[in-house]
Amino acid sequence: MKHLRRDGAIVKPILLVAGLGVVGCGGSGGDLDDDTYVQVMARLSWARAKYADTTEGDSVRAAALDEHGVTGQQLEEFVARLGDDPGRMHRLWEAIRLEVDVLDGVSRPESQLEMPDAERRESR
């Protein structure tokens, strides 16, 4: 699995998804689009960094899943499908990084707000 560096830290997408066990992994798989994946994973990543292993963090992570109607299982299945497309994975994790910056109050350049349509692929 490809790893991305951010400020010297290695981000391992599968570890973030595995960390969802705290908030449950029930539910059916189903399709998950790129935008929803980015929004949910940004919120989960932000909550993990801000709240670490606190009860409040568990609540924030559970709310992120509920808010988007997503289960841990859906995120795991989405990541499994990304394994065949490292370029897409890289673009998604860059979008997640930008969303986490926004949650942290860091403004982002307008040119990087959205992934160009030509680079998007619908989830299978």
Q: Does 65 fall in a domain?
A: yes
Q: How many domains does the chain have?
A: 1
Grade residue 39 by pLDDT with cuts at 50, 70 and 90. very high
Q: Does 97 fall in a domain?
A: yes
Higher pLDDT, 62 or 84: 62
For the chain, what is the radius of gyration of the CA atoms? 14
The helix or strand, by DSSP H or E, that contains position 6, with its residue range, turns out to be strand 4-6
Which two tokens mark 12? 């391992």
Q: Does 5 fall in a domain?
A: no
pLDDT given for residue 57 in this prediction: 86
pLDDT given for residue 77 in this prediction: 93
Which two tokens mark 110? 């307008």
pLDDT given for residue 65 in this prediction: 95
**Mean pLDDT calculated for residue range 29-53:** 88
- Cα 49 to its chain centre, rounded Å, is 13
Q: Does 93 fall in a domain?
A: yes
